[in-house]
Structure 1
Amino acid sequence: MKVGVKDLWAGGILIFLALLGLFINGGLLGIGLESHALGTARRMGPGYMPMLVFWLQLGLGCLVVFNAFSNGPDPLERWTKLDLTTLAISVSSGVILWRVMEAIGLNNNYIQVGAPCFVAMAVLAISPAWRPLGLVLASFAIFGLLLEPLGLILALVGLCVVSALADRDHNPVSVIGMTVSLCIICWFVFIYELDIRVPLWPTIF
């Protein structure tokens, strides 16, 4: 059987992280570390969106694994010294920054998680092989960091710009179109329809 090893590993990682997230969130057959209230689609509790995202990720992981058995052979590429070095520095810099921020009193704050994640992913993106993954994950971190101080619109702009850098051949016009569309959709769904209380613009506006 011709197996796509890349898809098999990717799907397995997605499934593992989804099951871990569901367990931590308390949404895996009612068993987990936390007991976050789910609420409804109209009035979401703190556990609703993570639960939904992890179940979708679980389904996606299963599809990727299934696709691996008809999309091969596709062996894993060998890691270079640069790949290994940037991975090691990325993890180290993230952990060190997290501990430093905790030491200066920024513990129990989303900034303590978001800033080290952004720095670690930016370092990871130095390696061409890690660049797409690093910048896409860095865009999620920058969204979380910018959402409260700068509002939803500018946080989405930051997310789109950073994630677009993952593709060296990105089209600026397409990035602008994607950014505008995403801002409109998110405003309509989360602000207008679901009435989620997040700032739309910086408080000075």
Structure 2
Amino acid sequence: MKINEKDVVSGLFFILVAFAGLYLNGGFLGIGLEQHAIGTARRMGPGYMPMLVLWGLMGLGALTLAVGLFEGPDPLQRWTGVETGVLALAVAVGLAVGYVAPALNPAFSNNYVALGLGLLAGFSLLCVSIGWRLIGCICGAMCAFCLLLDGFGLMVALVATIFIAAAAEPEHRRRPVGVLGLTVFLLALCWWVFIKQLDIRVNVWPQF
């Protein structure tokens, strides 16, 4: 058996994230911390899209894991001392922020907000290391979207998500006009698909 260690670890990571997300969303065999209404494809509830995305992620993880068992050998690279230290510090900071946030402001008392702030702090710190920057920016962008969507609306959340994720790639940082063009296109597309066609009830613009 020729194992591709990178694909195997990636597949396991995808499955773990999907399982955790489904449990938090209440969409893993009907159990979880929250029981969000699922709805239908035409009248989606708040738990519908997360459920689809997470089950898709779990399927992708299983496929990546299966392929990785036969596509090797491709060993994992060893972490440098900086990467190990930054990862440990990011985990510590993320846990601390998630624990302290509810005491700083009543608006952060919601478990999801505190969790999101902790994750955002941890992933932002990961970006300090070049080795972790890609995953830090992408995961941090998703956290920013979740934190901004309710209060600042879909458009602001999308702009923040796109620009944070784009920072992961040096080529995008050198060509901000291309990122801006992509942002305009995605804003229009998401409004047309999710607001106009699917009539998903979320704030489009900031609510103050």
Three-state SS of the structure 2 residue aligned to 1:129 is helix
Aligned counterpart in structure 2 of residue 111 of structure 1, from 104, 110, 113: 113
Distance 2:67 2:178 in 1: 29
Distance 1:33 1:115 in 2: 18
1:72-151 equivalences under 5 Å are 72-104=72-104, 105=106, 106-108=108-110, 110-151=112-153
**Corresponding residue for residue 47 of structure 1:** 47
Letter in 2 for 1:180: V
**Structure 1 residues 70-118: Cα deviation after superposition (integer angstroms, max 9, x where no partner):** 4322111111111111111111111111222122333116432322221
Three-state SS of the structure 2 residue aligned to 1:151 is helix
Letter in 2 for 1:111: V
Three-state SS of the structure 1 residue aligned to 2:3 is coil
TM-score norm. by structure 2 comes to 0.87
> Tell me, which stretches of 5 or more residues in structure 2 are unaligned?
none
Aligned counterpart in structure 2 of residue 180 of structure 1, from 184, 188, 194: 184
Three-state SS of the structure 2 residue aligned to 1:196 is coil
Letter in 2 for 1:155: A
Q: 1:36 to 1:147 in 2, by over 3 A?
A: closer
Cα deviation for residue 52 of structure 1 reads: 0.8
Cα deviation for residue 202 of structure 1 reads: 2.6
Residue 186 of structure 2 is aligned to residue 202 of structure 1: no
More off after superposition, 125-134 vs 43-52? 43-52
* Matched-pair contact (CA < 8 Å) for 2:4–2:69: yes
More off after superposition, 163-172 vs 32-41? 32-41
**Corresponding residue for residue 19 of structure 1:** 19
**Corresponding residue for residue 163 of structure 1:** 165
TM-score norm. by structure 1 comes to 0.88
Three-state SS of the structure 1 residue aligned to 2:201 is coil
Provide the identity percentage: 46
Q: 1:33 to 1:119 in 2, by over 3 A?
A: closer
Letter in 1 for 2:86: T
More off after superposition, 31-40 vs 87-96? 31-40
Distance 1:35 1:201 in 2: 27
* Matched-pair contact (CA < 8 Å) for 2:98–2:116: no
* Matched-pair contact (CA < 8 Å) for 2:101–2:117: no
Indicate the structure with greater helix content: 2
Q: What CA RMSD, in Å, does the superposition of the two structures yield over aligned residues? A: 2.1
**Structure 1 residues 133-181: Cα deviation after superposition (integer angstroms, max 9, x where no partner):** 0010111111222223332122111111110111112243432232122
